[in-house]
Amino acid sequence: MTEMKTIGIIGGGQLGLMIVEQAHLLGARTICLDPAPDAPAFKVSDDHIVASFDDSAALEMLCRRSDVVTYEFENVPGDLLIALEKRYNIKQGFRPLFDSQDRLREKENARAGGLHTPRYVAVDDMDSLRTGVADLGYPCVYKTRTLGYDGHGQVLLHGDIDLGKVKPYLGQPGILEEFVCFDYEASAVVVSDGDRTIVFPIGRNIHRDGILDLCIVPAAMSPTVQEQIVEGSKTFMDRCGYRGILAIEYFVRGEEVLFNEMAPRPHNSGHYTIEGCTTNQFRELCRYLLDEPLEEPRLLAPTVMKNILGEDLEAAERLAVEGHPNVYVHIYGKSECRPKRKMGHVTFVGITEEEYRARWSDRFVRG
Ligand code: AMP
């Protein structure tokens, strides 16, 4: 009998929870590290460490107790991870995290890897902001370069009157981007072990207030756009030499595909794969971590994933109690429920966007 392996996970949020579930199905043990004593993944992981992400001794303990380590949290301090990856099996390494932790570096890296991006300029004070605006024109979007997520640290600028809204952020590194009047957003979840690269079926993402609301699969797109996303993502991953999982978000404008951002971890837009595909993003990440061959995913049926934020938790719980065929309710078990906090998601398998809107969207506050 082969010995059971332990996967260490830096982060114990919902992504950690779903990595743990799939790791267990593949016969592995798990240990998670998170600062919150009630982190969702702790309820299912075999072991856990409560510690902050910059606690080097705790991170080292996680590595020592694991055969292989992954991360679901993106802002692990680089100096700590670089030191640890020399001595432990942090299989994806620090490089993809480093490339994604700063929006400017991320976009420069995307371009170097063959992808197109919206036009952008670096800004960090009022002078560079004004120069940037003169260059890009209105409307444009200001974003902090680091630590932004789900629309945090972003300002949409329509005219000079909005320049003042950026003031609170100036003094820290920022980026100004052209505002892309996209037709839709799409994302690719890619997993590579160096020999084989798999891409999950592409979803169309609908955001609300900067947060993913719906993911609709398959995304209705032209073969040219499909090819640019699938082949562009694979080539990018290959050129960068990344291994493991990478999610890339794109804007699609006509036949043009523009890189928005990436994350070297499972992605919210890939949650639909758990029931909508023959294999899922968490499982394939675990297969990579456990040195098992990757499986090519196939979509089982048209699928819609609805993100459940605080205001819709009750509606999701009701759906779970009612029990509907092909409706899969995931509640993450977070102790504090807040509006705009991701509390769960619901996957509707075997329905189109139109059917979802006709039959289910009324059930939610954020239909
Ligand atoms: P981000 O954190 O960069 O993914 O931004 C959150 C959301 O804001 C995106 O998913 C888009 O819906 C919107 N957004 C961000 N950047 C731009 C842009 N340059 N043009 C248009 N919309 C944007």
| Interior angle at CA 196, CA 111 and CA 74, nearest 5 | 50
Q: How far apart are CA 332 and CA 345, in angstroms?
A: 8
What is the chain's length? 367
Q: Is the CB–ligand 1 distance for residue 310 below 6 Å?
A: no
User: Between 78-85 and 56-64, two packed helices, what is the crossing angle to 10 degrees?
Assistant: 30
CA of 307 to the centre of ligand 1 (A): 17
Q: How far is the CA of 151 from the centre of ligand 1 (A)?
A: 7
- What atom of ligand 1 comes closest to residue 150's alpha carbon? 2
Q: Position of tokens 């099996």?
A: 89
Would you state the pLDDT for residue 169? 94
Six-digit token string for 105? 């570096």
Q: What is the mean predicted confidence (pLDDT) over 131-147?
A: 96
Q: Average pLDDT, stretch 130-146? A: 97
Quick check: CB of 184 below 6 Å from ligand 1?
no
Using the mean position of ligand 1's atoms as its centre, give its distance from the Cα of residue 167 in Å.
Answer: 20
CA-to-CA distance for 274 and 15, rounded, in angstroms?
Answer: 12
Q: Provide the pLDDT for residue 147.
A: 80
pLDDT above 80 for 367: no
Q: How confident is the model at residue 74 (pLDDT cuts 50, 70, 90)?
A: confident
| H-type alpha helices, 114-222 | 126-136
- Which residues sit opposite 345 in a β-bridge? 307, 330
- From the alpha carbon of 148, which atom of ligand 1 is closest? 2
Sheet holding 68-71, edge to edge: 47-50, 29-34, 6-10, 68-71
**CA of 207, closest atom in ligand 1:** 12
* Strand 184-192, strand 211-217: pairing: unpaired
153: left (phi over 0), alpha (psi -120 to 50) or beta: left
Is pLDDT of 242 > 70? yes
pTM of the model: 0.96
Give every CB contact of residue 36 below 8 A, 6+ residues apart in sequence: 12, 50
Query: How many angstroms is it from 210 CA to the middle of ligand 1?
Result: 7
Collapsed DSSP state (helix, strand, coil) of residue 264: coil
- Distance of CA 237 from the midpoint of ligand 1 (Å): 22
Query: Which residue has tokens 């951002």?
Result: 261
- Please tell me the distance between residue 150's alpha carbon and the centre of ligand 1 in angstroms: 9
How many angstroms does the Cα of residue 179 sit away from the middle of ligand 1? 8
Q: How far are the Cα atoms of 103, 152, 291 from residue 125, in angstroms, in the given order?
A: 17, 19, 47
Residues 271 and 200: beta-carbon distance below 8 Å: no
Reading the block at residue 40, the tokens are 């969702």
Assign 241 a pLDDT band (cuts: 50, 70, 90): very high
Whether 180 lines ligand 1, by a CB cut-off of 6 Å, is yes
Would you say the CB of residue 118 lies under 6 angstroms from ligand 1? yes
Residue nearest to ligand 1 atom 14, measured at CA: 210
Mean pLDDT on 194-220: 95
Mean pLDDT of 293-297: 98
| 3-state SS, residue 319 | helix
**How much is the mean pLDDT over the chain?**
96
- Ligand 1: atom nearest CA of 182 is 21
**Residue ID of nearest Cα to ligand 1 atom 7:** 210
Spell out where 264-317 has E strands.
Answer: 303-309
